[in-house]
Structure 1
Amino acid sequence: MTETHATLPPGAPAFPPGRYGRRREPGRRRPLLAALLAIAVVAGLSLVTVRLYRQYGDPNYDAQVITYTGITDSQVLVDFRVTVPEGGSAVCLLRARNRDGAEVAREEVTVTAPPGQRQVTAQHRLVTSARPFIGEVVRCRPPA
């Protein structure tokens, strides 16, 4: 059927017959497709969450930088505190970055807690390839 001014509701645009192809009737919605897409998105986000938790989120190996001092053109002294399982040890990744954010030093340090304690305070000197701006603990993990 062609559209004429008599068959169109008021305010609807009138298209010349045959000019723009066949007009589609309003179709039914596809809830199955939307549900499958939602499930796929949730599954993907869950995988990313698990991976990031394994990489950064183990609460048994929590590290905090207390201070970084002794900044010269070739070093920075990083004081940090690590929470480990009672009497355990951890391997912590320390790094120094320059003012532009580029990494100028990276080193893994093993820290061991005294028997009966969960927290250990450590100090480490990072030798850098350029003048550092900040010293930080990237993460701590159980020793291999």
Structure 2
Amino acid sequence: MYIELDNLLSGCTTADSWYDDGCIIAGDILTEFKTKDWEELLSIVLTKSLDWQKKLAYCLDSSCNSYELTILLLLLNTEDQELFEICIDTLRSFDILELKRIVIDNPLILKRIDEMLIKASSPVRKILEDFLLKIS
């Protein structure tokens, strides 16, 4: 299943095509993942292109499992603002006490969110504020 997901995320698609169909297909593939697939994905996620990582982060809430959480937390270490925003947006769908603890114990995440709030557009501001509300 990992190879199928990798091929989908590596493919050249328009933004419309990805958000209309690709992310739904990726979500369906992720629901079929076994432990081996998750471990393989976890081992390579940081070696993939930024576009690939953004696509993955966008669809990583299919089961809100610990592998998805771990991958999103790894991707939060990016310098890319859009990827960071996507990860925060996706993390809002997680209802895990562990997420609260991890974020609260990692002041760099909170600091970056605070810095982004200063110049964020309305939609991004809403995402960031909702996330902060969820973990408080």
Please give the TM-score of this superposition, normalised by the length of structure 1: 0.20
More helix by share: 2
Rg comparison, structure with higher value: 1
More strand by share: 1
Please give the TM-score of this superposition, normalised by the length of structure 2: 0.21
Pick 1 or 2: higher relative contact order, CA cutoff 8 A, min separation 6. Answer: 1
